[in-house]
Structure 1
Amino acid sequence: MTARATAAPAAAPRAGVPQGTASHGTAPNAEATGRRVEDVLDRLARRGDGETTAAAEELVSVLMDFYGAGLARIMHHVGTGDDGPRPALLRDELVTSLLVLHDLHPEDTATRIDRALDSVRRQHAAQVTEFDAGTGALRLRAGDSGGCGCPSTAEGAHQTVEAAVACYAPEVTSVQWETAGDGPEPALLQITRRPPTGAGAP
């Protein structure tokens, strides 16, 4: 992964420039936004103008630093207690992805994995059986969500859970599923971008 890819969510809207899903009232997805920024920079690189490409990457980096500093200041002002806006911010997927991206999230990986599972538990129950922080490998056991048990239904449930985990805890590099009474199923890999290392909130 290049450094420029990590700066994706910092891309600022400009007048007259389409903003994708955000233009339809839907919050932008950090991963999708990252792919869009990477695609734009790749198109510039293919033109062979090294100076323009370097300037674009510098622009993204400057915006990344600016928004990161702003997020750090916000987290400082919301405090550390259970009252105020802080709990709601930490439950928000978009805010979580931005805080992790800037290395500002106050919770550890295991706590954020639990948040991810809680966010989809009503539709797709799952529980952690093992997490290796060194490798980022996560093993989950599917719970009984009342589905028909069809392979296609199970695959859809797995994808929903994995998407939530990728959002809340991008440090997770792979997900392996197992079912009660059976051995582990073949691994379903969820490769995600790791957050950069940056300065914490003041």
Structure 2
Amino acid sequence: MSAPTAARPVTAERTGRRIEEVLDRLAATGEGAAAAEELVRSLMELYGTALARVVELLDPAPGGPLAELLADDLVASLLVLHDLHPEDRDTRIARALDGVHDPRLEVVGFEEHSGTLRLRARAGGGCGCGSAGDAARAAETALAGLAPEVRAVDVETTPAGPTLLQIGTAPTGAR
């Protein structure tokens, strides 16, 4: 097996999509789909059991080895995949959205039945920060590995507040 290249690093999102594409292709052609799915389930069980042991052996103290692993997106996504991630859904959603680096986003709620995360984006006031659609795509990408229970992101935009004018003590250039 070859090592990942710097140009195409391994990510949970990319690998998950590739696995789904291969399984869909196998199901469409009927060539060994059942065997491939059994192989994937067996490998998942093996890796899941091994990861569970790793998590048990690590010190959960803040700043400890487990905290370092949780900070790694790829490792965290594997822990989520195997239902081993120690953080609850809301904490994982907050962690993923912190990675979006958009201070305008705030969580409004999560709809369990549809898997829709509702976000509110305060209008950017012409700062060039991007649209609600951009924010939704960035959030979906960030959430893919850490919160797979989020199947859709709905971003509502609130209007920007009034523009504040700078009032000085002297006219411009009067100094």
Which TM-score band applies after superposition, normalised by the shorter structure? 0.7 to 0.9
Does the CA contact (< 8 Å) of 1:91 and 1:115 recur in 2?
no
What residue is the counterpart of 2:18 in the other structure?
36
Larger-gyration structure (1/2):
2
Using the TM superposition, name which of 133-142 and 88-97 deviates more: 133-142
Question: Do structure 1's residue 68 and structure 2's residue 48 form an aligned pair?
Answer: yes
Of the structure 1 ranges 132-141 and 81-90, higher mean CA displacement relative to structure 2 is found in: 132-141
The one-letter amino acid of 2:62's match is D
User: What is the aligned partner in structure 2 of residue 11 from structure 1?
Assistant: none
Question: Residue 137 of structure 1: CA displacement?
Answer: 2.4
The aligned counterpart of 1:130 is: 109
1:96 partner letter? A
Q: Following superposition of structure 1 onto structure 2, how do residues 84-99 of structure 1 map, counting pairs within 5 Å?
A: 84-99=64-79
Q: 1:99 Cα deviation (Å)? A: 1.1
Give the distance between the partners of 2:83 and 2:92, measured in 1 at CA. Answer: 13
Residue segments in structure 2 that go unaligned for 5+ positions in a row: 161-175
Distance 1:143 1:95 in 2: 32
| Structure 1 residue 88 displacement after superposition | 2.1
Structure 1 residues 43 and 78: alpha-carbon distance in aligned structure 2, compared to 1, 3 A threshold: same
- Say whether the 8 Å CA contact 1:68–1:102 is kept in structure 2: yes
Cα deviations by residue, 1:148-194 (Å, 9 ceiling, x for unpaired): 348xx213333112211232211112222122248xxxxxxxxxxxx
Change (3 A) 1:168 1:44: closer
C-alpha separation in 1, matches of 2:16 and 2:85: 19
| 1:24 and 2:6 matched | yes
Question: Across the two proteins, how many residue pairs are aligned to each other?
Answer: 159
Give the superposition deviation at 1:141. Answer: 1.5
- Matched-pair contact (CA < 8 Å) for 1:71–1:99: yes
Residue 127 (structure 2) pairs with residue 148 (structure 1): yes
Distance 2:115 2:34 in 1: 32
- Give the secondary structure class of the aligned counterpart of 1:32: helix
Partner amino acid, structure 2, of 1:29:
T
What corresponds to 1:116 in structure 2? 96
User: Is 2:48–2:82's contact at 8 Å kept on the other side of the alignment?
Assistant: yes
Structure 2 SS opposite 1:27: coil
* TM-score normalised over the length of structure 1: 0.66
The structure where helix makes up a greater share of residues is: 1
Distance 1:70 1:32 in 2: 23
Shift of the alpha carbon at 1:105? 1.0
SS at match of 1:61: helix
Aligned-residue RMSD, C-alpha: 2.7
Structure 1 partner of 2:59 = 79
Q: Which residue of 1 aligns with 2:118?
A: 139
Aligned to 1:161: 139
* Percent identity for Structure 1 against Structure 2: 50
* Unpaired stretches in structure 1, ≥5 consecutive residues: 1-13, 183-202
Which SS does the other structure have where 1:107 is aligned? coil
